[in-house]
Amino acid sequence: MMNTNTALITGASAGIGLELARIHAQKGGDLVLVARSKNKLESLKLELEETYKIKVIVVSEDLSLTGAAERVFQQTERQGIEVNTLINNAGFGGHGFFNERNLEDEQAMMQVNMVALTQLTHYYLQGMVSRQSGRIMNVSSTASFMPGPLQAVYYATKAYVTSFTQALAEEVSEHNISATALCPGAVATGFVKAGNLEGVKIWKNAKTPSSVAQFGYQAMEKGKLVAINEGKLAFLLNWIVPLLPRKVMLKTSRQAMEKSA
């Protein structure tokens, strides 16, 4: 049996997801780790179980595939696992003009960033409501606060995540459940290479995955609604960007995504 502080984390094999797993394990919580790479998950499982004497279940699934979220849920159901903390961290982006990008890549991005996230939230929320207890953290992005030329679909998916999470938080508050949208700025992870973002200016001062994970986990524990890990960026997004003329904001957003020569 797993303990009453069990977290399911998607995208747990690297980056923010891996660091969130370590933080939860440090606090004595059991884990369900979900990602495509079974070898990386098994390695992390050994590390966490040996170091923190907790229990870890590994689920190897590609969330870009139809039915993957349901298969994850069915596996935990078969094992009688009660997930008390759901962290939807899996996600990816991609750089370039929309008309030049591969449509299948964009659809896979929407599937992971929005559809699988929504499905997993719906599946695990049922148990949380019945137990009148739970925490949900959806890893979004500061990209969710504006449209993003050269990353049009990615920015749009994150806008969905931040909006969905806030609406959900209001709905579930009466059930002693919190929902937090973690909205980091640039983070130094494999996201950059996977999304063809090398050379984009804003990644020059990227934060470490461990610092973002620590910030996000604490925000989730406090039940914060939207958590932005950089104070100056939070001020800019909340108080300056909304006042800019739309065309100026779009030009500025595009310039931030352009690659240096």
CA dihedral 244, 148, 226, 91 (to 10 degrees): 180
Report, in angstroms and rounded to the nearest whole number, the Rg of the chain calculated over CA atoms: 18
Strand partners, 207: 187
Q: Is residue 16 within 8 Å of residue 213, measured between CB atoms? A: yes
Q: Pick the catalytic residue from 52, 123, 124, 154.
A: 154
81 contacts: CB under 8 Å, gap ≥ 6: 2, 6, 32, 57
The helix/strand count (H/E) of the chain reads as 10, 7
123 is catalytic: no
Q: In what order do the strands lie in the sheet with 177-182?
A: 56-60, 30-35, 6-10, 85-88, 134-139, 177-182, 226-227
Question: What is the C-alpha to C-alpha distance for residues 233 and 134, in angstroms, rounded to an integer?
Answer: 29
Which residues are catalytically annotated?
A: 154
